[in-house]
Amino acid sequence: MANPCDAPHYHGGRLFAATKKHPEAPKPWLDLSTGINCVAYPFVTPGRDTYARLPEPEGVAALESAAAGFFGLGPRAACVAASGTQALLQTLPRLIPAKTVAILGFSYAEHARCWALNGADVFVAQTMDELAAAEVAVIVNPNNPDGRLLVPAALRDLAQSRAAQGKWLIVDEAFADFLPGASLAPELPLPGVVALRSFGKVFGLAGLRLGFALAPEPFGRRLRDALGPWAVSGAAMDIGVQAYRDADWVRQSAARLAGEGEVLDALLREAGFEAVGGTPLFRLARHDRAADLFETLCRCGVLTRPFTERPDWLRFGIPHGEDQFARLRAALIGN
């Protein structure tokens, strides 16, 4: 593949393709394309037995309990673990037959793709009112890529009005972890509402493949049945429990990301970018020469996230430490 962004539904990453196109780029690459915490959680490696035997149901229960506590999930809601949020995105359309699905605004493309693959007519709603026409409404909150954020009260009101009509609301909270008060989880369960949470982004361990669906208990049982046994690896269970019980590390990471995000904001302004939005894990910025700057950054071994639909946009993950910021500065502005 000549360009990683030529891939259908490109979401960031694809360092192999970027390296193939830019073999002269210095290594290792600085990957700022995925909105994942650059500092991974320092877990204790699970013992060899974890890899040698099938995961136990008790391990799943311990993981889901730790995650539910971390999310502040209501006590009567189900917390269902899966091998990444992507697995849940692909499973939900099979459990919620829908002819019409509305996604609020320009957002994460996998939602539209997964529902369309299951035969739904998918459209983009520009306002909350436009969601009313669809059997399933999908809201990414905070939104990816622009960070648009709806308060839980607005989502609760929307959910109640939709439930009265037998309609569903899916809320993707993949980037909500570092935003206190942003999650709908404490309000759950709500009829017809499924919230999705990601593990890999906040803990910098995307390769572990771990995600959760938060839902009313009857739907949670259906979802567990659909995912089948051993939906999560033993290693993911062990590491997930460690991470979700480490509140100090999460607080320290939030403070670090806030400070480094401000440094990135200043650097992007200096480089001539206009802020569009973002979250504690990424920034979206506009530049008339964004496409050229993407290639310039690649030649310097820095991978960012472009958008075919908006060629004047680039998304930047939050760099960590003086060396990474110096490398980004040199690529954008020069020494």
What pLDDT, in 10s, does the model give residues 165-191? 999 999 999 999 999 999 999 999 999
pLDDT recorded at residue 7: 45
pLDDT, tens digit (0-9, with 9 covering 90-100), for 97-114: 999 999 999 999 999 999
Q: Which residues, other chains included, contact 65 with Cβ-Cβ below 8 Å and sequence gap of 6+?
A: 79
| pLDDT in the model for residue 63 | 98
What percentage of the chain carries pLDDT values higher than 90? 92
CA separation for the pair 300, 256 (Å, rounded): 25
pLDDT bracket for residue 10 (50, 70, 90): low
pLDDT tens per residue across span 11-35: 566 788 888 999 999 999 999 999 9
pLDDT above 50 for 1: no
CB contact at 8 A, 247 and 228: no
Can you spell out the DSSP letters for 160-213? HHHHTTT-EEEEE-TT-TTSTT--SGGG---TTEEEEEESHHHHT-GGG--EEE
Q: How far apart are CA 216 and CA 188, in angstroms?
A: 8
3-state secondary structure of 306: strand
Q: What are the tokens at 3?
A: 């360009």
| pLDDT score, position 14 | 75
Q: Which amino acid is at 110?
A: E
**Cα–Cα dist 38/204, whole Å:** 6
Per-residue pLDDT reduced to its tens digit, 114-123: 999 999 999 9
Q: Which residue has the tokens 């915490």?
A: 37
Q: Edge-to-edge strands of the sheet including 313-317?
A: 274-279, 282-286, 313-317, 305-306
State residue 46's pLDDT score: 97
Instruction: Give me the chain's average pLDDT, please.
Output: 94
Q: Which residue has the tokens 């037998």?
A: 166
pLDDT digits (tens, 9 = 90+) for 47-60: 999 999 999 999 99
pLDDT at site 311:
95
Q: Is the pLDDT of residue 232 over 90?
A: yes
Please report the pLDDT score of residue 15 as a whole number.
Answer: 82
Q: What is the pLDDT of residue 19?
A: 87
User: Which percentage of the chain shows pLDDT scores above 70?
Assistant: 96
